[in-house]
Amino acid sequence: MGKIKISKETCVVVILLSIIISGIIALIMSIVNWTTVYLPPNTKYGVVFDAGSSHTSMFVYTWPADKENDTGIVSQLSMCNVKGNGISSYADNPTSVGDDIMTCLDEATKIIPENQQKETPVLLGATAGMRLLSLQNKSKATRVLEEVTKTIQKYPMDFQGARILTGNEEGSLGWITVNYLLQTFITYSFRGQWIHPDPGVILGALDLGGASTQITFYPTANITDKSTEMSFRLYGFNYEVYTHSYLCFGKDQALKLLLVKVIQMQNSSTITHPCYPTGYTTNISLADLYDSPCVKAPTQDLSGQITVKGSGNPQGCRARLQDIFNFATCGTNDCAFNIYQPAVEGQFYAFSAFFYTLDFLNLTSKQSLGEVNATIHSFCLKDWATLTSSFPKESKGRLVTYCATGLYILTLLVDKYGFDTKTWSSITFAKQAGNADIGWTLGYMLNLTNKIPSEAPVEYIGRTRSLWAAALAFIVLSIVLALVACLIHFSNRNTS
């Protein structure tokens, strides 16, 4: 078989063809639309316990490690209700409080990946129930928090403390939650970008707990009393909000103040209560009635009982509710009885007991103030037998209080905060927004993410990048092989 003869010209042609073919491949690859692919950043987790006056709930939150202007895009992943009452009820048996929260902590460790638990922040925030206990017996409040701390520290997470929130913290963090969930801080546009809506859409927040109530909103005028101002930086913007918390004016404590006022006015071992339905009778221990720092105990013996009979009188009930407030002037037109407050403006979200009470009364569908007032008055006129037969599944302990609580909400919002027939329609009563509960815990987690460093997404050499690498290798290899083949051929010719 004869030898194949390769001329110098043939080698040049081979090299040129290699370059041309490589160039065509490069051109084709350049036409293909490709981008660098990034792996999603690590997902972060956070756990917050809301230790309220009547119960405790645990929330698990999650957010991507890359943040929008240093604030995480947080979502609620799970919620767990701790059995039993609020942690302040463990004042005389503090060692039991830890056992009850362990069930929820166990749930959290099942949800959060094991390799991320050590970096997951955990906080327990106690609200008005513990604020009252601290006023009444600070050492008992401290002991309860110590027992909570011992329990949470047994778990492999980043425990950040168990503490009592101030009223202003509770109110303003609830305000953050409302506005985050309703996307007034930041929203996702149809173009796939995060944008900041107009500040004029910022919502106010109204919270009614068991032991305190809070009002928080973003006034257009300057806040003159700086003790009522809270400042936040969220998503690259600064916010200064008006906020005030009224300890002892939550639903449970207000009804206790109301009952004491009725007892003091009648000064008898058997009294009639205008806010309770006709036909309802109960015996109340004086020791239980005066067990709160919100009510001033009389000097006489508290070992006895008071018999309370309902009279179903909504006008009389409203009058007694007026008596528990201090409507004295605060020396300015901007006043909510004796406390500075700018005039309410804008849209508001009302949650917690505001929602639960009016939802039971079917008054959360934007009814007018006149309709709300008429419906509550009509409910208060129903006797106990009618109520129990109409609502057989409702707890009797709650059922007897709906008249008083409904009228209390009217007194609080209209006579105290200053809503009227025109501004009442600006209030939306809600439990949730989106898929998350409204409360202070989500606001706390959002504020916390400002302090947690963000992480850049990890670059990933995906298939398109790999194709480029392969094409480049093919181009270089083709040229090199052509050159080597020609060099070997001419070297053999010169030696032969």
Reported as type and span, the H/E element at residue 68 is: none
Closest CA to 411 of 325, 312, 295, 316: 325
Both 142 and 233 in one domain: the answer is yes
DSSP letter at 123?
E
Q: Report helix angle 402-410 to 353-360, nearest 10.
A: 120
Domain contains 189: yes
Query: Cβ(124)–Cβ(78) under 8 Å?
Result: no
Q: How many domains does the chain have?
A: 2
Both 109 and 207 in one domain: the answer is yes
Domain contains 322: no
Both 32 and 108 in one domain: the answer is no
At residue 261, the 3 state secondary structure works out as: helix
- What string of pLDDT tens digits covers the 496 residues of the chain? 455 455 666 666 666 666 666 666 655 555 544 444 444 457 889 999 999 998 999 999 988 776 555 555 788 999 999 998 999 999 999 999 988 899 999 999 999 999 999 999 999 999 999 999 999 999 999 999 999 999 999 999 999 999 999 999 999 999 989 988 888 887 766 666 667 767 678 999 999 999 999 999 999 888 999 999 999 887 778 889 999 999 999 999 999 999 999 998 998 999 999 999 999 999 999 888 888 899 987 766 778 899 999 999 999 999 999 999 865 656 556 766 678 999 999 999 999 999 999 999 999 999 999 999 999 999 999 999 999 999 999 999 999 999 999 999 999 999 999 999 999 999 999 998 877 889 999 888 877 776 554 454 444 434 444 455 555 555 666 666 666 666 655 555 555 5
Query: Residue 120 belongs to a domain with what CATH number?
Result: 3.30.420.40
Q: pLDDT tens digit string along 436-465?
A: 889 999 888 877 776 554 454 444 434 444
At residue 106, the 3 state secondary structure works out as: helix
At residue 187, the 3 state secondary structure works out as: strand
Active site members: 170
Domain contains 204: yes
Both 78 and 209 in one domain: the answer is yes
Q: What are phi and psi of 194, to 5 degrees?
A: -85, 130
Both 80 and 211 in one domain: the answer is yes
Domain that holds residue 96: 43-244+437-449
For the entire predicted model, the pTM comes to 0.79
Q: pLDDT tens digit string along 383-415?
A: 999 999 999 999 999 999 999 999 999 999 999
Domain contains 333: no
Tokens of 459: 């670059």
Domain contains 77: yes
Domain contains 116: yes
Both 13 and 146 in one domain: the answer is no
Both 69 and 115 in one domain: the answer is yes
DSSP letter at 245?
E
Domain contains 142: yes
* Alpha-carbon span 156 to 148, nearest angstrom: 15
Both 125 and 203 in one domain: the answer is yes
Sign of CA dihedral 208, 212, 216, 222: positive
Both 88 and 228 in one domain: the answer is yes
Residue-wise burial string across 141-154, b where 16 or more C-beta atoms lie within 10 A, e elsewhere: bebbbebbeebbee
Domain contains 185: yes
Q: What are phi and psi of 273, to 5 degrees?
A: -110, 120
Q: How far is CA 6 from the centre of its chain?
A: 80
Q: Report helix angle 369-380 to 402-410, nearest 10.
A: 150
Query: Cβ(490)–Cβ(15) under 8 Å?
Result: no
Both 25 and 51 in one domain: the answer is no
Both 32 and 135 in one domain: the answer is no
At residue 209, the 3 state secondary structure works out as: coil
Both 217 and 119 in one domain: the answer is yes
Q: Which amino acid is at 394?
A: E
Task: Give burial (CB, 10 Å; 0-12/13-18/19+) of 421.
Answer: exposed
